[in-house]
Structure 1
């Protein structure tokens, strides 16, 4: 029964990491603080976040159609959108996707990159690089920081 309970904890990490605005930056430290294995938490959180980012990239055109239907009339772009455009103009696709998980969210970074003209293949590549990098950094920082502080 304890094994099943542990599996459910990691399923929750997978699901939460895939939700925009929760993402790896929040889920990983919380799960490690909860006492879960940092290596497994990082791996599962990365898989959950990548899964939903990949779905966003794959179904981008359908998402755009849905968004147009939903936002009838003249609506002002969000602050996240404005921030994404500034990042795109200043740093291009690598800068947008690498800063995305912390500044605007990995999902929004992927959508913004594609809306601004990046190819799906390039967004797949840079989103993967970004999420792997941030997952490793956040997992290490959380694991060593929590251990150093003596919280676990």
Structure 2
């Protein structure tokens, strides 16, 4: 019983960092893809809520400790984020977050561009639910085509 709870927690917590980690672990543990999709979605949204509500405090505390040298504000990557934001807005950032960014990164970008919390949560819930279940199903049913995964 305790080992099953630890497996579920592992899938949930790994999804707070990167979506595909939760999908791979859930499939590797032999969970049904719907269970894996739910745990993955909840893990992603946990990190979105934490960053959205506590991101400013975390940033100020980390800057006080680290005191890094000044970096360039305009880089190739930041220009791409601005382009996506200008063209697609919050729905575009939310759609790309599970695929290209970590859930934490998507929430940071959305907050940095000044999106309303209500919009962040609405679009992230839609995107995380969609991609959580789609990626879980893809790993479950098509993961055997990738030989190094060695999935059951």
Aligned to 1:127: 124
- CA shift digits 1:77-130 (9 cap, x unpaired): 576544322321221110011111111222211111111121111111111111
Aligned to 1:35: 30
1:1-152 map, 5 Å: 3-19=1-17, 23-66=18-61, 68-69=63-64, 70-77=66-73, 80-146=77-143, 151-152=151-152
Residue correspondences, number: 147
**Contact 1:13/1:44 (8 A) holds in 2:** yes
TM-score by length of 2: 0.81
Say what the alpha-carbon RMSD is for the aligned residues. Answer: 2.5
Unaligned ranges ≥5, structure 1: none
**Contact 1:56/1:110 (8 A) holds in 2:** yes
**Contact 1:83/1:104 (8 A) holds in 2:** no
Aligned structure 1 segments of 4 or more residues deviating by more than 3 angstroms: 66-73, 77-83, 146-151
1:36 to partner: Cα distance: 2.5
1:10 to partner: Cα distance: 0.8
In the alignment, the residues of structure 2 paired with residue 96 and residue 71 of structure 1 have an alpha-carbon distance, to the nearest angstrom, of 29
Q: 1:16 to 1:113 in 2, by over 3 A?
A: same
Q: 1:151 to 1:117 in 2, by over 3 A?
A: closer
Q: 1:64 to 1:4 in 2, by over 3 A?
A: closer
1:52 to partner: Cα distance: 1.6
In the alignment, the residues of structure 1 paired with residue 97 and residue 80 of structure 2 have an alpha-carbon distance, to the nearest angstrom, of 10
In the alignment, the residues of structure 1 paired with residue 35 and residue 89 of structure 2 have an alpha-carbon distance, to the nearest angstrom, of 32
